[in-house]
């Protein structure tokens, strides 16, 4: 059976204190005290019984950490017997000091004060009832100061231990908070990367899919038109690869990315033209005087137009037209993508990743997003971004 290390250490300490107490008890025999001119009337000489009582007084040290208060009270029994039988021992013995220190260092303030009071009362009663030598007032004061000093040392250790525990707990809380912040930052970064990858991949792949379907339909009847569609697919694929390479280059730490400006509203004409080449009749309407926009808002507005046109290309149906309307005002940017296609008939009731990403982008900049069918038919994606100080 494995023995607890603290119990083993306390048991060894009990043995050491018992041996030291017996040695001191035997060393200060009545004969030695009498040779120093001290009164020893009625004091009994050490014998086996007194040695057993001294050992019993030291035994509670073995449980000083588990039951310090009970151990200190248990010391009173053999100490009282030693005093009553005239051997002259009292609470100033080493065992009493060790247990008083344990009570002060292992228990709360109320219990520790009670232990100090019991020690002082027991010492006073022992001094009054002691046989042979009453001792001077200075000796009693010194012993009382020793008791208080031992008690103070125990309290100081307890307060220091509590302070260190508080520091460890605070460090653990800070570590947990840092880990939570790290997880939140990673989740936000993963969400941002997912939005960028989806916006790039879904748009280009949707355009390439529509163009490939058109090329397949006219491959036999109009090879020239099929070649134009295939050339457009190649061009779109190269654009997708370029944007993907830029994103991956930014993410990798062991490679230098080919950095370039992020797309914005200035790229909307090229985007609309690309959608026309893919087979979606689209046009761009700009109202108001364009302002210098924050980069994040500029990118979010472009991605919204891109996602809205991609959804119109995939779901609006043949013959549908899409209109991108950008309204500039000093305090708001209004971006709207509307088509006159099938409305919700060709769309899933569950929003895709692209619309979820657009919702996150708009919310990030405090905008208002509306997505849904139009009353007269068709579908609309619209966002209004607030601008501070006309920027």
pLDDT in tens, 23-67: 777 666 655 555 555 555 556 666 777 778 888 888 888 888 888
Residues in the chain: 391
> How many Å separate Cα 320 from the centre of its chain?
52
CA atoms within 13 Å, Cβ hemisphere of 52: 4
Q: What is the CATH number of domain 280-391?
A: 3.30.565.10
Q: Would the pTM of this model clear 0.85, i.e. be above it?
A: no
Is 82 in contact with 52 (CB distance < 8 Å)?
A: no
Q: 206 pLDDT exceeds 80?
A: no
Name the segment(s) of the chain with CATH classification 3.30.565.10: 280-391
- Non-local (6+) Cβ contacts of 387 within 8 A are 291, 293, 297, 329, 330, 331, 332, 333
- Of the candidates 355, 237, 378, the one whose C-alpha atom is nearest the C-alpha of residue 307 is 355
pLDDT band at 311 (very low <50, low <70, confident <90, very high): confident
> Of 248, 256, 282, 251, which is closest to residue 268 (Cα–Cα)?
282
Alpha helices by DSSP H, listed for the chain, are 5-27, 30-35, 48-58, 68-84, 94-106, 109-129, 137-218, 223-251, 268-277, 295-315, 353-364
The closest of 1, 95, 107 to 54, measured between CA atoms, is: 95
Query: What is the mean pLDDT of the segment spanning 194-217?
Result: 73
pLDDT of residue 352: 55
CA 91, CA 157: separation in Å to the nearest integer? 22
pLDDT-based confidence at residue 299 (cuts at 50, 70, 90): confident
The average pLDDT across 204-228 equals 77
Q: Cα(6)–Cα(11) distance, rounded to whole angstroms? A: 9
Does the pLDDT value for residue 130 go beyond 70?
no
Q: What is the pLDDT of residue 88?
A: 59
Residues 84-108, mean pLDDT to the nearest whole number: 75
pLDDT in tens, 316-329: 777 789 999 999 99
Using 50, 70 and 90 to split pLDDT, how confident is the model at 132? Answer: very low
| Mean pLDDT, rounded, for 363-384 | 88
């Amino acid at each position: 059976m494995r023995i607890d290390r603290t119990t083993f250490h306390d048991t060894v300490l009990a043995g050491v204190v018992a041996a030291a107490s017996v040695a001191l008890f035997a060393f200060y025999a009545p004969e030695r005290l009498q040779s120093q001119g001290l009164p020893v009337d009625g004091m009994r000489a050490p014998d086996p019984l007194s040695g057993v009582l001294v050992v019993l007084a030291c035994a509670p040290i073995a449980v000083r950490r588990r039951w310090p208060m009970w151990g200190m009270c248990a010391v009173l029994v053999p100490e009282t017997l030693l005093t009553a039988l005239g051997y002259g021992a009292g609470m100033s013995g080493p065992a009493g000091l060790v247990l008083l220190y344990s009570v002060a260092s292992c228990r709360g303030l109320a219990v520790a004060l009670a232990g100090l009071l019991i020690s002082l009362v027991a010492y006073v009663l022992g001094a009054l009832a002691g046989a042979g030598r009453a001792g001077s007032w200075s000796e009693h004061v010194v012993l009382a100061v020793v008791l208080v000093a031992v008690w103070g040392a125990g309290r100081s250790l307890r307060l220091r231990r509590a302070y260190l525990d508080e520091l460890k707990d605070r460090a653990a809380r800070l570590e947990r908070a840092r880990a939570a912040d790290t997880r939140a930052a990673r989740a936000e970064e993963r969400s941002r990367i997912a939005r960028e990858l989806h916006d790039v991949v879904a748009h280009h792949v949707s355009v390439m899919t529509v163009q490939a379907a058109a090329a397949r339909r006219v491959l036999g009847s109009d090879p020239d038109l099929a070649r134009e569609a295939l050339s457009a697919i190649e061009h779109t694929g190269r654009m997708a690869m370029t944007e993907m390479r830029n994103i991956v280059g930014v993410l990798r730490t062991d490679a230098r990315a080919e950095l370039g400006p992020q797309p914005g509203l200035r790229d909307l004409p090229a985007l609309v033209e690309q959608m026309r080449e893919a087979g979606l009749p689209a046009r761009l309407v700009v109202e108001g005087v364009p302002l210098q926009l924050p980069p994040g808002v500029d990118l979010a507005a472009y991605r919204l137009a891109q996602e809205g046109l991609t959804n119109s290309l995939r779901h609006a149906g043949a013959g549908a037209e899409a209109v991108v309307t950008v309204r500039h005002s000093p305090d708001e940017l209004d971006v709207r993508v509307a088509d006159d296609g099938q409305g919700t008939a060709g769309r899933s009731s569950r929003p895709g990743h692209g619309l979820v990403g657009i919702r996150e982008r708009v919310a990030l900049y405090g905008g208002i997003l509306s997505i849904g069918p139009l009353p007269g038919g068709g579908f609309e994606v619209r966002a209004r971004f607030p601008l501070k100080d006309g920027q």
